[in-house]
Structure formats: C-alpha cells, structure tokens
Structure 1
Amino acid sequence: MQKIENHYLKAKKWLLGMRGNDGFLLKVLIYGLLIGIGFVYLFPLLHMGIYSIKSLDDILNPLVNWIPTQFYLGNYVKANQVLNFFPVLLETLYVTVLPSVAQTAVAAVVGYGLARFNFRGKNILFVLVLATFLIPPQVTLIPRYIFFKELDILGSLNAFMLPALSGQGINSAIFILIFYQFFRMLPKSLEEAAQIDGAGHLRIFFTIAIPMAVPAIIISFLFSFVWYWNETYLASIYFGKELTTLPLQLQKFVASYQKMFPAGMEGSVNQINEGIRMAGTLLSILPLLIVYFITQKWFVEGVDRTGITGE
C-alpha cells in the first residue's frame, strides 16, 4: 500500500508539479502556447522566404508547397534590379538614421528637464507634449506642409530633421515619456553629490544622467529608427521625387517591374510572379531584421529597464 502511495505521489509530482516545480502538463501547455504564438508571428516570414526561392515552375506546381525542388535566386536578382537596392538602401539609411539620432537626443534633453526641474507651467507643458501623440498626423499635415513649403525645405531631409530637432518628430512624445520615467528613477543623491563637487547641470546631465540612460537611449533610437524607416505617407509627400526609401520603392514595385521588364521583352518572364514579389518584400525588410538580430540583447534590456510596458 505504501509503494502504491509513493508511486501515486511521484506520478502526481511529475504531471502537476509540487513546491514550485512545474509539472509535465504545465510545461506542455506553456511550450505549446509559446510555439503556437511564435508560429503565428513567424509564418509570414517563412512564407515569404520559401516563395522567394521558388522558380516559376515550382510556383505553378500544386505539389510543391513548403520544399522547393531547387534553390532559385533569380527572383532576388530581378528584385534587386527593380528596387535598385544598394543605392536606395544608403538613401534610406540617410533618411532614417539622422532624424532618429536627432529625435533621441532632443527627447533625452526634454525628458531630463521635465523630470529633474520644477518650474511654473511644467504640468501643463507635459500634458501638451503628451497630447501631440494623441493628435493624428493627418490633422496637422496640411498646415505643416504649407509651413515647410514657405521654409523651402520640401524635397530635402530637413523636412524630417526640423520636427525631430524641435521635439515634434514621429511619436516623439513616447520617447520623451520614456526618458522622463527613466530620469525620475535616478537617485537625487547622485546629483547632490556632484553639485557639492562643483558640477553644473550640463556636466551632471552628460557625465551622470546620459551614461545611466543607455537602455533608454537604445530603445528610443531603435523604435525611432523603425518608425522613420516604415514611414511612407509623410515621406512621399515631403520628399517627392528628390528622395526615396526602400518602403517607397516597394509600394511601386509592380509598376517598376512592368516598366523594366515589359511583357514582350525577349528572354524575360512576361509577368511578375509571387516569388519576385516576396523577394522584393524580403529585401526591403532585411536591414531591419539584421539590426534587430544584432541589437536584440540591448533591445530587450532597454524595454525591461525603461518600463515601456507600463510597469
């Protein structure tokens, strides 16, 4: 009887867990849920990746689904020609990196000022800053366009740089809030000790606050970089034909392909197919994937330490 009871307790412990140890059923549930969620997020990338290396014969063959009969790179060759990938990539980095750096720097200064200084109208100013995030950009598009036209900065990077430098870049209010939360958590004893040693506010900001705010800087820059990269609505209006980005090139991918490879062109595929579209889409998001894989460690740490999840 004692042996049966011991076997029962062992089986119960193995299945359900005891004293903080996860049982087998709970592990199956957790890992199954994580695999399911991961598959939902990864399925579009897997679909694009597989179709991008399929030849036209594999695409037309209903028996070929997940495993192509050959590793075909011709789709990427044509997508590269249509997107003009490397020159446009450099132009895209120029359009996204500089405004992202400027926006992060300005958000750090504004967030530090709101967090560490008390002055009349501070709360009202803080509310107005956050209110800019609630106002849709379409509401201010026409007045801002007219203002930029009067300044003669349309068709240049200044159309992005001017709002970024004035704290009105794409979703700047979120980054100001991130820095505001982060700088509020810094102990005032550090500033008081620095002031006793004769340090001024600027020196405290650059030697104490900024080095400790590296996670907030990383998370703000990465989010800003992604948002400027994916911004096509404002970029198409402000830049016109003078500047372009990979997402803008992707929007007119089909028209550019048909113009570059006419239907009657000798030795070419008459019509664009799904494989070429998927290759072009992957090329346009490939830099973002590379940036994420390189910076994912600091990205996760930044999200955790800045409290961006609302904790």
Structure 2
Amino acid sequence: MKQQQVKQQSVAVLTRIRKLLLGMGENDGIVFKLVVYLLLIGIGFIYLYPLLFMLVNSFMSLDDLVNSMVKWIPTSLYTENYEKALQVLNFRKTLMQTILVAGVPSIIQMVMTSVIGYGFARFDFPLKKLWFALMIATFIIPPSVTMIPTYLMFKDYHLLGTLKTYIYPAFLGQGLKSALFIMIFYQFFKKLPVVLEEAAQIDGAGYLKMFYRIAVPTAGPAFIIVFLFSFVWYWNESYLAALYFGNKLTILPLELQKFTDSFTKMFPQSGGQGNQINEAIKMAGTMLTIAPLLVVYFVLQRWFVEGVDRSGITGE
C-alpha cells in the first residue's frame, strides 16, 4: 500500500512538471513559450541589426571608427556627423520636396484606387473580367518595359520636371503599384455586407453617398495600408524621380546617392583630416533619409497592424 502511494505521488509530481513545461495543450507551457520567444528574438535581431548598427556608428568619431576596441558603445556622442550630413543633404529643403513628391501622389492614388476597387467589387458592367485582367497585367508587366514610352509621352506633353508626371498617372489609377492597391480595396469592399447598401438605397441614398457614408468608414484600415505603402514606394523611387524630374525636383534618396560627391564639393580637403568623409557620416545621412519613414510608421502602425489583421479575416 505504501509503495503504491509513493508511486501515485511520483506520477502526480511528473504530471505537474509536464504541465508546467508543456502546458495543458502542449502549446502554452514554458518550453513552447521559450522556443517561440527565442525565434522572435532571433528574427527581430536579424531585422533590427542593420538599423542599430547604422545608428550606433553614425554617432562615432573617426577615432572610434578606427579603434578596434570600440564596437557598440562610442566613447562619446559625436554629433558633427549629423551636422555635416544635414548640410550635404540640404535636409530641410529636400525633406519638404520629398514629402511633397511622396505625399501628394499617395493621397491621390489612395482616393482613386478606392473608387476603382469599389467599382469592381460592387458593379457589373460589360467586359468587367477583361478590364480586371488588364488591370492585373499592369502590375505584372515590369516597369522597365513601359519606362521609355512613358518618358517620351511626358516629354511630348511638356510634363517633365514637374510633379504632374506623378499626379496624372495616380489620378488615372496608374500610379506606382496601383493594381495592388485596387486589389486591396476590392477585397475589403467585397466583404462588405450588401444588405447595408440595400438599406441605404431604400432610404434614398445614391451610389456616391453609399460609397463615402458606408464603404469608406468600414475600409479605414485599407486606406491606412494603401497610403503607407504608397508613401514609402514614392519616397524610395529614385530612378523614376531622376528620370522625370531632372534638376527641377529632388528627393532624399537621390541626394543620398550622390552624397559622397556632394560632400567632397562642400567640404574640400585642405590637408587636414577633418574634411574627409567616412562611414559614420554616410550612415548619418542614411539615418536622416529613413528617419521620416520610421516616424510615419510609428504614428500609423496601430491602424496598419489592424488593417493587415482584418484583411485576413473572412467576413470582416
């Protein structure tokens, strides 16, 4: 009898240990959580390492850069790198132009793709499937195929060197990655219950009123997603900006590409070491270029995550 009690106690102890380590469903125990957190930390480190490396090194002096003993913590916060980078990038003026170049087409594209997506989701019209397929084809075709014809068309209409080269395509639903944004709105509006619009029609609402009073409020997360992605893509699109704008407009990524040449012209070497460009100054320029995007993401990330989550839930 005593031996049986000892055996039962041992089994009970083992059961409690198993529940503690593996949990009830073997997915909420310490082992499972430890594995998940280790994976998340590892993946997060892979993504954050380049950003942290740039941030730390951008505050290093030349002595810290050549000192093998200095790795992650600089001996002092050396802000002269940012002072020079601000001058080389002509940061205030260039930032305003970049916000204009990225923001205006993004807002127009967001509005127009929502209208097009709503039209495809709610209306039946002749050759609808053909038009939808052609819209998808504009996303599949590489931009390099249509770049030269588009440039020549803008040249014939005297649009080069102005923001109109971005505004007109966005207004016509042909901005950067517009087909993808139309698909996002199409999926959101397709999930919208038809009974809501039928009830609005009974109350005398027209299609335009149904769109901005019913469809738009329910697709708020989609608008955040489209604006954020569109803003980032227009912000980083340096090749088309250089091709269409020339010397009339500039953006931060373009100024970053010619950072070394601009630095050499602005701070010519005069025999001293203080005017030599180094990796810390380049990284300071890079951080200044991506910092506005990080601010935009941190401001909109709550709605962005909500939009991504809702886009994958059927019936939302």
* Same fold? TM cut 0.5: yes
Aligned with 2:238 (options 225, 232, 247): 232
Cα separation, 2, equivalents of 1:296 and 1:178: 18
Which residue in 2 is equivalent to 1:94? 100
Q: CA deviation at 1:206?
A: 1.4
Aligned with 1:126 (options 105, 111, 132): 132
Cα separation, 2, equivalents of 1:69 and 1:19: 50
Aligned with 2:282 (options 255, 277, 280): 277
Question: How many residue pairs align between the two structures?
Answer: 308
Which residue in 1 is equivalent to 2:147? 141
Q: CA deviation at 1:19?
A: 3.5
Secondary structure in 2 matching 1:68: coil
Q: CA deviation at 1:21?
A: 5.5
Secondary structure in 1 matching 2:75: coil
Cα separation, 2, equivalents of 1:46 and 1:64: 15
Comparing 18-27 with 163-172, which one deviates more in the overlay?
18-27
Aligned with 2:79 (options 69, 73, 81): 73
**TM-score normalised over the length of structure 2:** 0.95
State the one-letter code of the partner of 2:287. Answer: L
**TM-score normalised over the length of structure 1:** 0.96
Which residue in 2 is equivalent to 1:181? 187
CA distances 1:215-235 after superposition (whole Å, capped 9, x unpaired): 111110110000000000100
Q: CA deviation at 1:251?
A: 0.4
State the one-letter code of the partner of 1:104. Answer: M
| 2:254 is the counterpart of 1:248 | yes
> Where do residues 150-161 of structure 1 align in structure 2 (5 Å cutoff)?
150-161=156-167
CA distances 1:243-298 after superposition (whole Å, capped 9, x unpaired): 000011000001100111111176x6242111101100000000000111111100
Q: CA deviation at 1:134?
A: 0.4
State the one-letter code of the partner of 2:303. Answer: W
| 2:267 is the counterpart of 1:257 | no
Q: CA deviation at 1:201?
A: 0.8
Poorly superposed stretches of 4+, deviation over 3 Å = none
Q: Point out where structure 1 has 5 or more consecutive residues left out of the alignment.
A: none
Q: In angstroms, what is the RMSD of aligned CA positions?
A: 1.4
Which residue in 2 is equivalent to 1:6? 12
Cα separation, 2, equivalents of 1:256 and 1:162: 32
CA distances 1:176-204 after superposition (whole Å, capped 9, x unpaired): 00011111111111111111111111111
Q: Point out where structure 2 has 5 or more consecutive residues left out of the alignment.
A: 1-6
Cα separation, 1, equivalents of 2:271 and 2:111: 51
Which residue in 1 is equivalent to 2:61? 55
Percent identity among equivalent residues?
57
| 2:216 is the counterpart of 1:193 | no
